[in-house]
Amino acid sequence: MKKPKIGKSNARMTRLSITTKIAVAFSLLIMFLVSVVAASIVLKNQALFKAEFQEKGWSIVYTALPYFSSYMQSNNLDYMNNIVKAIGKYQDISYVAVLDEWGKVLVHTDDKQVGTWFGDEDTKSVMAEKSDILKLHSDDSGKPYLMDFYAPIKTAGGGTIGYFRLGVSLAGLTMQTRQTTINIILICLAAIIAGIFLSQLITKRTLKKPLLDLTAATEKLAIGDFSYKVNIYSQDELGDLARSFNTMTVHLSNLVHSVKSSVIDINKSAEQIIGQLQTSGRTNNKLSQTFDLLKQGTEEQVAILKQSSSLAEQLSEQSKNAMDGILQILSEVKKTVQVSEKGVNDISRVGDNIQQSGRSLAGTRNLIRQVDEKARQFSQTIADFSELLKKTNSCTVQVALEAARSGNEELARAAETLHAISEESAQRVSQMSSELADVDNTWSAAEKAMDSNIKSLSEGQEAVTEAGDSLGKVMRSLLQSKDFIEAVASSAQQQSANIEDIIRSQSGIINGLLKSIKKSSGAGSDTKVQMENLHDIDSLTKKLIRMVDRLNVLSLQFKTQ
């Protein structure tokens, strides 16, 4: 039987193991769950930070309003300017401004704004409503970058004499969100790597060994070795496939042995019939010499033919039993082919999922490279800020010395405080630089791990293709076995029909011999009648010889099958 040709499209498919496909699917599930949890954490932190900035802004506004009210009534702009400058030095403060009741800027952290008019819609809205208002400003990408606090400055009697504006920068919120995002990405990478290794370790033990064992068993079966048994590793679809394969092997082995035994029996029966026919031929030669022996020989031939008919009936029964076994084996083979086709389709779907995972990992690797470049730029910014702090410390020391020289204790204390703040800032900047260096190393390691994972995905894809090819070989072998069994079934059916024809022919020959005996008994010494009977017997003998030759050919065909 010719083997089916393998298409070029199958040969060109990239090999990817089913274990790697399952590993990638498991890793993607972990990444999705971690991403969902991380997104909820980021959103919650953003809400908390916004609330904190809002509380901080209103606290500053409500603390400064009484002072501004008093100083505006006394027209003390210097004190108001000092307060504005002091507030402007606070962390996350973008600007501070005090307006009169018509919107003119009295004091501002930016001296260039003093004397200008604020005519924007928000200021007009506050002047019209004369109540506290908070505005949140966002950039073009939709990210908030500034909180604007508006509050009227009122006298003790409730009259409005001016307005206070405070801008709080949300750069700290953006930085915290970015740091949280970086940590989440690192956690996702760790989860993906752990998921890939764990799922590969598990699936290699549960899938690869059974498939390789099944492939080896199929190759053994193809060369006629029915003694090999597939090991059953688990109680699942692979275990059912292994059991079905073992059952099919047993049935095929029994069928082959049954066919061989039937062929041997047919050959023996054919030899007996040939020997008996040869004896019958010698008896017919003696009939020409003595007609008395003709009757006795004819009766012997009838007995021999009856025995041959019995053997033919036994052969027909054996052929029917073999036919039933063949049909049962054919049913098992069809079930096994259906299971194999399902496995091939599952392996194809897993290969598609792994290809999608490879593209997703490549995109993640590009994102890591972009984040690493941003981290290096931020590291340079921190280095510049550290140099600025060093210069500030030097300046603070000079101020402290000058204050000590002039005897200004308040200025000396302020210089000491500023020096301490500068030292603490330098330490924090140094710590941030160290942490950023660690993050940079972590990104580099993550990029290498991502490259390794992409390579592992490629290798895994080749392994899945190998598994698919192995399962394809199994299915093709099963299809060959199916075709072989169908051919055997067809041949057995034809042989059964031939045996029934032989039985009918034997019945006709026996009836003819019995009629010849009756004629011989009634003919007496009439030579002409005896010669006619002799011709009838000779004709029946020739038919019997042709029937034996046909039975012998049928036996050889059955043996060949």
Per residue of the chain (561 residues), what is the pLDDT tens digit? 444 444 444 444 566 666 677 777 777 787 788 778 877 877 787 777 778 878 888 888 888 888 888 888 888 888 888 888 888 888 878 889 898 888 888 898 888 888 888 877 777 777 777 778 888 777 777 777 788 898 888 888 888 888 888 988 887 777 777 787 888 888 878 877 877 777 777 777 676 677 777 788 888 777 877 777 777 777 777 778 778 888 888 887 787 777 778 768 777 776 777 777 677 666 656 655 655 655 666 676 667 767 666 766 766 676 677 667 767 776 776 777 677 677 667 777 777 777 777 777 677 777 777 777 777 777 777 777 777 767 776 677 667 656 655 666 677 677 778 767 877 777 777 777 777 777 777 767 777 777 777 777 677 767 767 777 776 776 777 677 777 777 766 776 776 677 677 677 767 777 776 676 666 555 444 545 555 655 665 666 666 566 656 655 655 554 455
Residue 13 covered by a domain: no
Residue 543 covered by a domain: yes
- Residues 254 and 264: their CA atoms lie apart, in Å, by 15
Domain that holds residue 329: 208-283+291-560
CB 221 within 8 A of CB 228: yes
User: How many distinct structural domains can be found in the chain?
Assistant: 1
Residue 242 covered by a domain: yes
pLDDT of residue 318: 67
pLDDT of residue 403: 66
pLDDT of residue 523: 47
- Residues 378 and 437: their CA atoms lie apart, in Å, by 10
pLDDT of residue 5: 46
Structure token digits, residue 46: 């953003």
Radius of gyration in angstroms for the set of CA atoms belonging to the chain, rounded to a whole number: 51
CB 370 within 8 A of CB 182: no
pLDDT of residue 506: 63
Residue 356 covered by a domain: yes
Residue 443 covered by a domain: yes
> Where does 74-156 have alpha helices with state H?
77-88, 121-129
Residue 67 covered by a domain: no
Any residues with CB less than 8 A from the CB of 556 and at least 6 apart, and which? Answer: none
CB 216 within 8 A of CB 228: yes
Residue 235 covered by a domain: yes
Residue 550 covered by a domain: yes
pLDDT of residue 9: 45
Nearest alpha-carbon partner for 244 in 234, 255, 230: 230
CATH code for the domain of 216? 1.10.287.950
- Residues 229 and 216: their CA atoms lie apart, in Å, by 10
pLDDT of residue 133: 81
Nearest alpha-carbon partner for 207 in 233, 244, 235: 233
Burial string for 348-358 (b: 16+ CB within 10 Å, else e) reads: eebbeebbebb
